[in-house]
Each structure stands twice: as structure tokens, then as C-alpha cells.
Amino acid sequence: MANNRLIKFYKGYVLQQIHTKLNEDGAVIPVEDVDKLIKHSVDIDMSSVQMSNEELQAVILSGFSMADRIGLKLDYPQDKWDKLIKLNLK
């Protein structure tokens, strides 16, 4: 099971930022569909709480990649990402 910090980071930051960007121009894309799209790109079809840390990290990186493709700069410093990963490996 993935660490709660990673789940909160994914659902509370990565997913929300992408969802907001995709819906800027009046489109109505449910957050659940955005979540499925991100997970589908790494062949994961399960709830975030069921994932291992490694699976959730792959989903988060996929989210960052998707953000780049839609012109969204997720401004999250590398040192904070490294610290988050280290905390979740304990």
C-alpha cells in the first residue's frame, strides 16, 4: 500500500493541477476521468490506496509528463521531490 504522503501529493497536487488546466477553456472533464487517463498511460488500473509506492511514483511521474504535454509547468523543486521519496521509503 502506498504511503499517505504520496497519495496526498498525487491527488491533492498533481491530479488537481492537471484537472484545473484541462478544464480552463470551459471543458467539463471529471477529475475521475483525468485520474484514469494518467494511470492508463502507465498501465495501472487500481485505486491509489491499493498501489505500492513504486506504482504511485510511476503514476506521479506520468502526471508530470502529461502536464508538460498540455503546457502546464508543475513547479515542484527536485530537492522536495527527493525528500518526499526518501520519506516514503522508510
pTM for the whole structure: 0.82
Q: State the pLDDT at residue 75.
A: 75
Domain that holds residue 37: 4-89
Side-chain-side CA neighbours of 53 within 13 Å: the count stands at 10
Residues contacting residue 65 through CB under 8 Å, at least 6 positions apart: 41
pLDDT number for residue 3: 82
Alpha-carbon distances of 28 from 13, 25, 31, 68, 85, rounded to whole Å: 19, 9, 9, 20, 33
pLDDT tens, residue by residue, 9-31: 999 999 999 999 999 978 899 99
As for how many domains the chain has, the answer is 1
Query: Using N-to-C axis directions, what is the helix angle for 53-69 and 78-89, rounded to 10°?
Result: 160
Question: What is the per-residue pLDDT across 54-73, written as a single tens digit (0 to 9) for each?
Answer: 999 999 999 999 999 999 98
